């Protein structure tokens, strides 16, 4: 989110920028760790392009993708963070074309799993900062979900889903194909119901602030991970 990029840029030193494919990438240093910042844009294609550039052009060692989402698990509240243990597509259905399940792209696994070492560090950091965070399944589709019937249909296909958004699984798929560790973090901006548009506009800035606070605190511990842990 743009709100997050602004917060991160204020903390980085020795900034340089490069534009590739219409996306701006900022390279800088934070706590002796080189970071590459990018705002992917909205949707799976934009997210996939940005992730591919990060791995192929900038040769990043790991990718952490943050953003907002609709929280659909019982008890999730606006502003709470969801750490994606698994990611899947909710808008993919090729079940008529072979032995597949809803959400599975041919040639790919159904669920893309975040790196456990990254997940552990961020979970511990959230606890230390007293930021409410839930670990669970995040599902992705090129749709802004804003009605209860749509949420119910997604839940029917993905038991235990915590959050619904528009980029995470695409980033996870690219990272998996590059054999690189990743973690998807979403701050809850709405609940995917009839009030979603109003709530999103009102709370998205706070959601971005929460995610940025979490990552800035976690980065030194992430950088300290041994190579065989991530």
For residue 4, indicate whether it is catalytic: yes
Q: Is 18 a catalytic residue?
A: no
Q: Which of 80, 165, 167, 190 is catalytic?
A: 190
Exactly one of 4, 80, 165, 167 is catalytic; which is it?
A: 4
Q: What is the DSSP string of 124-175?
A: HHHHHTT--EEEEEEEE-SS---SHHHHHHHHHHSTTEEEEESSHHHHHHHH
Q: Which residue has the tokens 């606070």?
A: 213
Ramachandran area for residue 195 (φ above 0: left; ψ -120 to 50: alpha; else beta):
alpha
Rounded CA gap, 178 and 174, in Å?
6
- What is the number of other CB atoms lying within 10 angstroms of the CB of residue 140? 30
User: Own/partner pairs for 91-99, CB < 8 Å, 24+ apart?
Assistant: 91/140, 91/141, 91/142, 91/143
Return the residue matching tokens 């698994």. Answer: 86
Residues known to be catalytic: 4, 190
């Amino acid at each position: 989110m743009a709100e997050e990029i602004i917060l991160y840029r204020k903390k980085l030193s020795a900034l340089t920028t490069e534009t590739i494919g219409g996306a701006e990438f900022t390279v800088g240093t934070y706590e002796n760790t080189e970071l590459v910042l990018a705002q992917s844009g909205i949707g799976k294609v934009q997210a996939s392009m940005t992730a591919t550039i990060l791995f192929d052009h900038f040769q990043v060692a790991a990718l952490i993708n943050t953003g907002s989402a609709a929280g659909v698990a019982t008890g999730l509240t606006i502003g709470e963070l969801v750490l994606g243990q698994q990611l899947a597509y909710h808008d993919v259905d090729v079940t008529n074309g072979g032995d597949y399940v809803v959400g599975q792209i041919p040639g790919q696994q159904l669920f893309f799993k975040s790196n456990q070492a990254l997940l552990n560090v961020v979970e511990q950091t959230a606890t230390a900062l007293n930021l409410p965070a839930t670990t669970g399944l995040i599902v992705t589709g090129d749709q802004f979900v804003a009605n209860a019937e749509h949420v119910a249909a997604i839940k029917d296909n993905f038991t235990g889903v915590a959050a619904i958004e528009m980029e995470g699984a695409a980033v996870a798929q690219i990272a998996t194909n590059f054999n690189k560790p990743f973690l998807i973090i979403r701050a809850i901006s709405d609940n995917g119901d009839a009030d979603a548009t109003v709530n999103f506009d009102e709370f998205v800035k706070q959601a971005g602030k929460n995610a940025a606070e979490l990552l800035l605190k976690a980065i030194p511990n992430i950088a300290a991970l041994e190579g065989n842990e991530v």
